[in-house]
Amino acid sequence: MEQKSNTTAMLLLEIGTEEIPARFLPVAMDKLRSNAEKMLSDKRLSFSSLKTYATPRRLSLIAEDVPSYQTASEKEIWGPPVNVAFDSSGNPTKAAEAFAKTNSVPIDSLQRKEKGKGSYLVAVVREDAQDTESIMQAMLPELILSLNFPKSMRWGNGSIRFARPIHWILALYANKKIVFEIEGIKSSNMTKGHRFLSPASFEIKDTRSYINLLKNNFVVLNPEERKKNILQEANSLTEAIGASIVKDDELINHVSYLIEYPTPFMGTFPAEYLELPPELLITVMKGHQKYFAVNSGAKLTNRFIIVSNTKEDNAETIKRGAERVIKARFEDARFYYHEDKKVSEKERLKELKKVTFHEKLGNLHDKVLRISAIAELISDKCSPDIKDEIKTAALLSKSDLASGVVREFPELQGTMGGYYAANDKLSSEISKAISEHYRPAFSGDEIPETDAGAAVSLADKLDNIASFFSIGLAPTATEDPFALRRQTLGIIAILIGKRYRMNIIELFTKALQPYQSDKTASVLEGMLRFYEQRLEVLLQSQGYTADCVSAVACFAKDEPLYSVKDRLEALKKFKLVAGYESFLLAFKRINNIAPQDKSEPVKKEMFTQDEESALYSAAESAASKLYPLLALERYSDSLEVLLTLKDPVNNFFDKVLVMDKNEDIKNNRLALVKYIQTVGRQLADFSKLS
């Protein structure tokens, strides 16, 4: 097949729009890249690199070393059997004619090939190499329209949907325009700079100059470069006064997608507002204005960083406007805070009767009563000396949801509750527990520091899971509207981190008490299955192999979770010791023949060979050492004891015929095998290991 001479060049696409919301852009960049990669691959066009970029006003794609022609193609398509395609006289049937027509080849070009026990028709379909420019004329419009967003809109009289109206399309390959049109928007070699600092259109003659030309027109195309610039400038400003910005990755990522030409400035606000909780001040700065708070040491200052989409020449104007706005915002926050402090948390507790938790689950007052009951159980088991504090913290844990500040700033729930509890002169144990009971709130978040906080957090999360499972709102494969997966992972993290001696069955059973019905057993089963799935995924993500996780999974419901983690850690190290492979072989032999059901006790008087006696003595000795070690949760030492059974087990199987003709001897030997398996399973199910 003839292959046309190929050169390579850069492909450049820019979709110019009205300002797209910052939260849409990272996903849009990823989608643009993945869709472009797939389409180029489908078109048999290679590339050395493909990168996407985004600013509020544009989505851009740059593909390097795209060949001028696609790769020619030749593929075989298998058709009907020859005896179906031709009659007894050798004339083609309708099956052959249809097959040839479908693949656009003459009947006489069809080949016959053997497959299996028959002969089949094969069509060799050849596709010549098309030039890239022609391919792009069809592909780029399709690529643009393939992008979807959380919210899209139509504009004018058009029918296409996009995040925001498209104003221009820049499309170049090898510095030549790719000509196409999308609902009256014609592609060109023109782009635009910053909306205010360089609003005029300008031509891109050389794709290699594209990024620098944008920068000359006050557009920093790469969001990572914008982020770097923001941090460098902000750090320079704060270091000059011996301070630093409050670290907030979410905010820096968001701000980097809000602007095309970032220029940080420092502003100030009246120091009197520092009497407000720092979390409240930071939330006002971040949530409403997207400003960065500034710390000196561990203490908040009355400075903040504004990132403006303009030049330094405008710094003073921007700064004055920002300071005026932030002062008004802080004044509102101060009003809410002082009004809230006039009402005690216990008074607000009554207000929760008016706040619906879920239409099928009652109000928030009902919920805190359930949380309190679960927290009491946890306290009895793990922290009996602070039971009263835990019970009070549980009852007041949601009171701040009826406060003015939390109604205005929902992300401060719990945090403000801690401040209000302290204002009511409640103990530091109670206020701390309330403030941290939502933790861990996300993957990687810290668990509560205090036992009271951990107890209330566990109780809250357990109630959420039990409540929604009981009314048939368990998560599905695609939906988890109540974040029950995250909350289950939070429960696991706390139980392991705090090393609480509680198992998940007793916790779930307690949480389900308010929902007793004839379906409770099946609901509990579903909750346990959900928990086990989350635990397995979590442990594997922490570096434990799937076989080790499976080997200890049998302990995950009935034992404290930290002990499951300790077993895993011991197994991980055990796999590295000398003799592990031989040990595993020994226990695989045990597991292959051990009876499924419980067997009769081993009768020593029925042993007929020394290897039987030796194995039984070794097992008895191991068991006598093993059980005290297990009681002390010394799993690595326990595995070392179990390792002593390796040689007696292998000797037994090498020299003794278990399935003896004498039924009594056979059953006694099977009982011995079962006994060894039972001893081993105090540590792990070794049949799962590889």
How do residues 619-674 score in pLDDT, each as one tens digit?
Answer: 999 999 999 999 999 999 999 999 999 999 999 999 999 999 999 999 999 999 99
Say which CATH number the domain at 675 has: 1.10.730.10
In this structure, are 201 and 332 located in the same domain? no
In a domain, 659, yes or no: yes
Residue 366 has pLDDT above 80, yes or no: yes
In this structure, are 400 and 514 located in the same domain? yes
In a domain, 563, yes or no: no
pLDDT of residue 76: 86
Q: 491 pLDDT band (50/70/90 cuts)?
A: very high
pLDDT of residue 311: 84
Query: Which of the residue ranges 288-292, 331-335, 584-588 has the most confident prediction, judged by mean pLDDT?
Result: 331-335
In this structure, are 496 and 624 located in the same domain? no
In this structure, are 250 and 162 located in the same domain? no
In this structure, are 589 and 462 located in the same domain? no
What letter would DSSP give residue 20? P
- The residues pairing with 145 across neighbouring beta strands, listed in sequence order, are none
In this structure, are 645 and 526 located in the same domain? no
In a domain, 557, yes or no: no
Domain that includes residue 229, residue range: 223-340
In a domain, 142, yes or no: yes
Mean pLDDT on 543-563:
93
In this structure, are 120 and 167 located in the same domain? no
pLDDT of residue 88: 85
In this structure, are 520 and 413 located in the same domain? yes
Which of 305, 340, 375 is the C-terminal boundary of a domain?
340
Residue 348 has pLDDT above 60, yes or no: yes
Q: Are 63 and 88 in contact, with CB atoms under 8 Å apart?
A: no
In a domain, 559, yes or no: no
| Rounded Cα distance, 690 and 686, in Å | 9
Residue 570 has pLDDT above 90, yes or no: yes
Q: 73 pLDDT band (50/70/90 cuts)?
A: confident
% of the chain residues with pLDDT over 70: 99
**Better pLDDT: 341 or 596:** 341
Q: Are 558 and 505 in contact, with CB atoms under 8 Å apart?
A: yes
pLDDT of residue 597: 82
Number of H helices, E strands in the chain: 26, 18
Which of 127, 160, 195 is the C-terminal boundary of a domain?
127
In a domain, 569, yes or no: no
pLDDT of residue 547: 93
In this structure, are 336 and 352 located in the same domain? no
In this structure, are 387 and 399 located in the same domain? yes
Q: Which residues of 203-220 are buried (b: 16+ CB within 10 A; e: fewer)?
A: ebeebeebbebbeebbbb
Q: Are 419 and 336 in contact, with CB atoms under 8 Å apart?
A: no
In this structure, are 401 and 520 located in the same domain? yes
In a domain, 565, yes or no: no
Mean pLDDT on 428-442:
96
Q: 1 pLDDT band (50/70/90 cuts)?
A: very low
pLDDT of residue 156: 85
pLDDT tens digit string along 593-602? 988 887 789 9
| Rounded Cα distance, 223 and 462, in Å | 40
- Strands, E assignment, 195-319: 201-203, 244-245, 263-268, 292-296, 299-308
pLDDT of residue 322: 93
Q: 116 pLDDT band (50/70/90 cuts)?
A: confident
Residue 105 has pLDDT above 80, yes or no: yes
Q: 477 pLDDT band (50/70/90 cuts)?
A: confident
Say which CATH number the domain at 203 has: 3.30.70.260
- Looking at every residue in the chain, the average pLDDT score rounds to 94
Residue 550: strand, helix, or coil: helix
Closest CA to 470 of 440, 438, 505, 509: 509
Q: What would the two tokens of residue 121 be?
A: 């028709």
| Rounded Cα distance, 17 and 270, in Å | 39
Closest CA to 423 of 525, 347, 366: 347
pLDDT of residue 4: 58
Which of 216, 241, 276 is the C-terminal boundary of a domain?
216
Mean pLDDT on 332-338:
97
pLDDT of residue 671: 93
User: How many structural domains is the chain composed of?
Assistant: 5
In a domain, 425, yes or no: yes
In this structure, are 120 and 146 located in the same domain? no
Q: 5 pLDDT band (50/70/90 cuts)?
A: low
Q: Which residues of 19-52 are buried (b: 16+ CB within 10 A; e: fewer)?
A: ebebebbeebbebbbebbeebbeeebbebeebeb
Q: What would the two tokens of residue 90 be?
A: 């050798």
Sign of CA dihedral 441, 444, 450, 451: positive
Mean pLDDT on 605-617:
94
Q: Are 679 and 626 in contact, with CB atoms under 8 Å apart?
A: yes
Residue 319: strand, helix, or coil: helix
Residue 456 has pLDDT above 50, yes or no: yes
